[in-house]
Amino acid sequence: MSALRNDRARGASDEAGVRLERLQFRRASRGDGEAVAALHADSWRRHYRGAYSDAFLDGDVLADRLAVWSERLAESDRARCTILAELDGHLAGFAHVLFEEDATWGALLDNMHVASALKRQGIGSSLLALTGSAVTERPRGDGLYLWVLEQNVAARAFYEACGGSFAGRARVSPPGGIAGRLIGSPAKLRYAWRDLAVLLAAVEPTKRSAGAQRARDGTEPTSR
């Protein structure tokens, strides 16, 4: 992941302001599970109301996410990657991708979340760009897709602005396989980039334009 190594070394040199200039990117490791789980749970509480039950979001969501991330980060796995964005040593956002996950659609961006107080400053765009670059460095490197809640209109607009194409609709799977954690039968939409050059061309300019960052940043794909 040469693009990630380069960004970690120099930080983000955007014109978006002081925050992005202090931003650092790196791959997650075993010791990052608690911080990632806390941000993931907070983001679900803020954005998944109406799809996930209040009982789950106000109760077991942190424990559920901690179990997931403890397992994911327990050992290094070349088939997946979690990219962290850090501001002054604190977690600002993350993206988790599964390489070659689908024979048709390619790599799956399973999670991408940005801290609520740091949205609309280009962090999501930067994470998406680094994810796309990481996929292009793989042997296949031929596609990326994600699922987003149908009710999340802002997220859908973000991915469309980044060149993503609608590619299917399905029901949301309940977190942990527990049906009671869902409200009704919420739907999710697949957005895909069959050609990663389209994604990188759409996202990279946002790292140089504060106005584009404010308009495009701050969305989360629906995790499994």
Q: In CATH, what number is assigned to the domain containing residue 54?
A: 3.40.630.30
The domain in which residue 18 lies consists of 2-216
Q: Does residue 10 fall inside a structural domain?
A: yes
Q: What is the DSSP string of 31-66?
A: GGHHHHHHHHHHHHHHH-BTTB-HHHHTTTHHHHHH
Dihedral over alpha carbons 43, 44, 48, 50 (to 10 degrees): -130
Rounded Cα distance, 103 and 126, in Å: 26
Q: Does residue 221 fall inside a structural domain?
A: no
Q: Using CA of residue 103, residue 70, residue 131, residue 202, what is the dihedral sign?
A: positive
Give the pLDDT confidence score for residue 213 in this predicted structure.
34
In this structure, are residues 27 and 4 in contact, taking their beta carbons and an 8 Å threshold?
yes
In this structure, are residues 49 and 55 in contact, taking their beta carbons and an 8 Å threshold?
no
Regions in the chain scoring below 70 on pLDDT: 1-20, 205-224
Give the pLDDT confidence score for residue 76 in this predicted structure.
87
Q: Does residue 224 fall inside a structural domain?
A: no
Number of domains present in the structure of the chain? 1
Q: How far is CA 54 from CA 49, 50, 153, in A?
A: 7, 8, 21
Give the pLDDT confidence score for residue 217 in this predicted structure.
38
Q: Does residue 95 fall inside a structural domain?
A: yes
SS (H, E, C) 156-167: HHHHHHCCCEEE
Q: Does residue 222 fall inside a structural domain?
A: no
**pLDDT tens across 113-159, in order?**
999 999 888 898 999 999 999 999 998 878 999 999 999 988 899 89
Give the pLDDT confidence score for residue 132 in this predicted structure.
94
Give the pLDDT confidence score for residue 120 in this predicted structure.
85
